[in-house]
Structure 1
Amino acid sequence: MSSTFRPAPTSERMPFIDALKAVGSQLIVLHHLAFYGPMSDWTHQLAPDVVGWFSQHARMAVQIFLVVAGFLAARSLAPDGRLRTDRPLASLWQRFVRVSLPLLAALLLAMVCTEIARTWMTHDSLPAPPSLWQFVAHALLIHSLLGVDSLSAGVWYVAIDVQLYALLLGLLWLGRQLGTTAPLLVVAVVLASLFHFNRDSDWDNWAIYFFGAYGLGALAYWVSRAGAGRSAPAWLAGMVLLTGVALALDWRTRIALALGVALALAWAHRSGWLFTWPRSRALGYLGRISYGVFLLNFPVALVVNAWFTRHASPDAGVQTLGVLVAWLACNLAGAAFHHGVEQRLGRPGRAPAR
């Protein structure tokens, strides 16, 4: 690779990552549409293999978000492998505010949507009416840790995202305190996750379970920087080798996917394509609104499911049309939420820590 490559400013858009987010968010929406609600049962009659695939496998798109989040966190917190902020707790607070305030707004909308859906249908995909403690636990992002029932599908990921950010931040801070290379600490925890914690689902409410994928994203950023120079291929080969050994010990398709995404990000960064490809306004826009779509797709889909259950013909073709309407509605609602709520509420968490 050319030694003249320099990483772009952190404020520059990255079309490659926008495209990954766009594809990932749409797969999650389609997974929820296939897995929840009565309309998918009708669609299953027309296309059982398609519905079955989205129901069982599309959820692995979460790995895309985990790897991308680790990549971006490394880029923001420690672009050269050394923690650059003197106020790590302020950085963690900003991250919490940035993701949790839009989440709370989305949960309020989700509760309204659930009650609207409840007037039109009875179905086991409808969450029970929430308690005050349930809402508080969600606000603090500890509902999964306490075994509190979720108010909406996918909320667990927001809590895990903050945990992962905190864990990476802690490793970077520890590396600075010990005077050692922080990425080596990240490698150690990635290996602990891949070889032990990620193989035990009892840990799936904790960051360490997912840190294998998240840490691969962080390592992909550091390895692909210009400063990695000629050592980059060796480090990438090491990532592949160690992840391959973990998969040989216990095959997990989700981890194989995470490795693939990490390698794609590293290649795109080294080649410069991260900032130049694909040139698609549609993918770029879907990537930018992906968080809003992620937060609102489940409650919006519930309302569409309920309306079609109550008012539309019990016919496979009509109900499949309802699935398409729900897909469109999820994206429109996510776009409106992004512009009207997310950008405003997430603004306090965008100020750089000093």
Structure 2
Amino acid sequence: MQSKNHYLLVDFLKTFAAFAIVLHHFLNYGQLAEDARNFLPIMLTWLFEYGRFAVQIFLVLGGYLAAKSITRAKDLKNPHILFRTIFNRYIRLFAPYVVALIITIICAWLARFWVQDEFVGESETLGQFLAHLFFLQGILGLDSISAGIWYVGIDWQLYAILAILLGMFPVFRSAIWILAVFCVLSLLYFNRHSEYENYFIYFMGPYGLGVLAQLCKNYPDRLINRLASTLIIVIGAAIVISSFQQIWFRNLLAYVVAITLIFWGDWAYLDRWREKKNSQMHKLVNAILWSSRRSYCVFLMHFCFILLANTIYISWGMSQHHDGAMAIVLIFISIMASWQAANYLYRWVELPSRRIKF
């Protein structure tokens, strides 16, 4: 088990959030999801309602890891280096993303023969596909080809804004103050208005908390550590005060994740877990690391299996009997298949594409 540049808590949170989002989507789309929720109404309805909050975990982790990589970049004030940093992030996201889009389009075409449901959508257009390639589908008001694919574009927007902020100010502390202002505005205003959800400012709150969590502990300058720590406390106070008017659980969750990363985010994998290869602990941490590495790919691929699972459920006549038990079994098999497909996408596309840099 190779754990270079990987940390136990970070990998666990990525794995947990990926499973939660995938399950939430499987319980959200089509007759399959409806029959499964009717069979186990309390548990599955709860997962259906609150599973989407796992996006906050991804956002905080995204900021945490982005700050770690961007602050290591040299001379971001050079426009050429800044552009290269942003463009390389786009390249890294792009290769598995476009392969997953093409596979999803094929699965949707197949599903339309049997599934007459809104989530399948109309046949994709060339303009719609091109908009997806540049992460513009939400901004242009076009239907998304795949569930959750909006997050890829938002992640790139947030990464680009963070790089620009850290590169445009001659004093690093000024950039952190501006970041904190964006973070508070996002948490207390922008992410409470859906008209901004296609833009970075809607998600800057949890992402900024992740950035500050990284800076307050792992940045080599103690003054920056203290400033980031102070701003984390101030933002936490703002979240608590605003909760007296209305409680926003996603803001509270994002803050808890950020604080957790401050204390335990740099927990490394222990060598003794690798020495006892037959131990339960070794198998557990190995599974966490394996899943964490493939979390982005499963995020891209799982909607294909939602389409295929609903197609099988309807075309084989199971939907006519509203067989909830069979629906749950089919969801479980499809989730496992999603992870296996993600494994191949990771090995055959994502890993080789990392060699491509501008």
Q: TM-score, normalised by structure 1?
A: 0.88
Matched with 1:144 is: 138
CA distance in 2, matches of 1:289, 1:107: 17
Question: Within the alignment, does 1:251 sit opposite 2:232 as a pair?
Answer: no
CA distance in 2, matches of 1:275, 1:227: 26
Matched with 1:340 is: 348
| 1:213-267 CA distance string (max 9 Å, x none) | 1000000000112644884765543342233234444421111111111111111
Q: How does 1:180-195 map to 2 (within 5 A)?
A: 180-195=173-188
In the TM superposition, residue 110 of structure 1 has moved relative to its aligned partner by 0.3
Code of the residue aligned with 1:43 in structure 2: it is: A
CA distance in 1, matches of 2:195, 2:10: 31
Code of the residue aligned with 1:210 in structure 2: it is: F
1:289 aligned to which of 274, 291, 294: 294
Question: Within the alignment, does 1:298 sit opposite 2:291 as a pair?
Answer: no
Question: Within the alignment, does 1:331 sit opposite 2:325 as a pair?
Answer: no
CA distance in 2, matches of 1:93, 1:297: 26
| 1:83-114 CA distance string (max 9 Å, x none) | 65741111000011111222111100000111
Query: Equivalent residue of 2:307, what SS?
Result: helix
In the TM superposition, residue 45 of structure 1 has moved relative to its aligned partner by 2.2
The alignment yields a C-alpha RMSD, in angstroms, of 2.4
In structure 1, list runs of 5 or more residues that go unmatched: 1-9
- Structure 1 residues 308 and 347, CA, compared in 2 at 3 Å: closer, same or farther? farther
CA distance in 1, matches of 2:119, 2:77: 44
Matched with 2:277 is: none
Matched with 1:99 is: 93
CA distance in 1, matches of 2:302, 2:109: 16
Code of the residue aligned with 1:204 in structure 2: it is: E
Code of the residue aligned with 1:317 in structure 2: it is: A
Give the aligned length: 337
1:172 aligned to which of 141, 166, 169: 166
Equivalent residues of 2:188, 2:242 under 8 A apart:
yes
Equivalent residues of 1:265, 1:274 under 8 A apart:
no
CA distance in 2, matches of 1:180, 1:292: 35
- Structure 1 residues 98 and 233, CA, compared in 2 at 3 Å: closer, same or farther? closer
CA distance in 2, matches of 1:179, 1:236: 17
Code of the residue aligned with 1:339 in structure 2: it is: R
Equivalent residues of 2:180, 2:231 under 8 A apart:
no
In the TM superposition, residue 204 of structure 1 has moved relative to its aligned partner by 0.8
CA distance in 2, matches of 1:156, 1:167: 17
Moved more, 287-296 or 33-42: 33-42
- Structure 1 residues 67 and 130, CA, compared in 2 at 3 Å: closer, same or farther? same
- Structure 1 residues 89 and 334, CA, compared in 2 at 3 Å: closer, same or farther? same
- Structure 1 residues 312 and 342, CA, compared in 2 at 3 Å: closer, same or farther? farther
Question: Within the alignment, does 1:153 sit opposite 2:158 as a pair?
Answer: no
In the TM superposition, residue 305 of structure 1 has moved relative to its aligned partner by 1.7
In the TM superposition, residue 274 of structure 1 has moved relative to its aligned partner by 5.0
- Structure 1 residues 25 and 264, CA, compared in 2 at 3 Å: closer, same or farther? same
CA distance in 2, matches of 1:250, 1:90: 42
Equivalent residues of 2:22, 2:335 under 8 A apart:
yes
CA distance in 2, matches of 1:237, 1:274: 26
- Structure 1 residues 249 and 344, CA, compared in 2 at 3 Å: closer, same or farther? farther
Equivalent residues of 1:199, 1:250 under 8 A apart:
no
1:23 aligned to which of 16, 28, 43: 16
- Structure 1 residues 34 and 197, CA, compared in 2 at 3 Å: closer, same or farther? same
Code of the residue aligned with 1:322 in structure 2: it is: L
Question: Within the alignment, does 1:117 sit opposite 2:122 as a pair?
Answer: no
1:215 aligned to which of 204, 208, 211: 208
CA distance in 2, matches of 1:195, 1:146: 26
Equivalent residues of 2:166, 2:172 under 8 A apart:
no
- Structure 1 residues 261 and 79, CA, compared in 2 at 3 Å: closer, same or farther? farther
CA distance in 1, matches of 2:244, 2:162: 26
Moved more, 314-323 or 256-265: 314-323
In the TM superposition, residue 50 of structure 1 has moved relative to its aligned partner by 1.8
| 1:288-343 CA distance string (max 9 Å, x none) | 10011000101112102211221153322222211111111111111111112222
In structure 2, list runs of 5 or more residues that go unmatched: 274-280
Q: TM-score, normalised by structure 2?
A: 0.87
Equivalent residues of 2:64, 2:212 under 8 A apart:
yes
Query: Equivalent residue of 2:159, what SS?
Result: helix
CA distance in 2, matches of 1:144, 1:339: 29
- Structure 1 residues 109 and 71, CA, compared in 2 at 3 Å: closer, same or farther? same
Query: Equivalent residue of 2:236, what SS?
Result: helix
Question: Within the alignment, does 1:47 sit opposite 2:55 as a pair?
Answer: no
CA distance in 2, matches of 1:237, 1:267: 14
CA distance in 2, matches of 1:343, 1:98: 9
Equivalent residues of 2:24, 2:52 under 8 A apart:
yes
Moved more, 84-93 or 233-242: 233-242
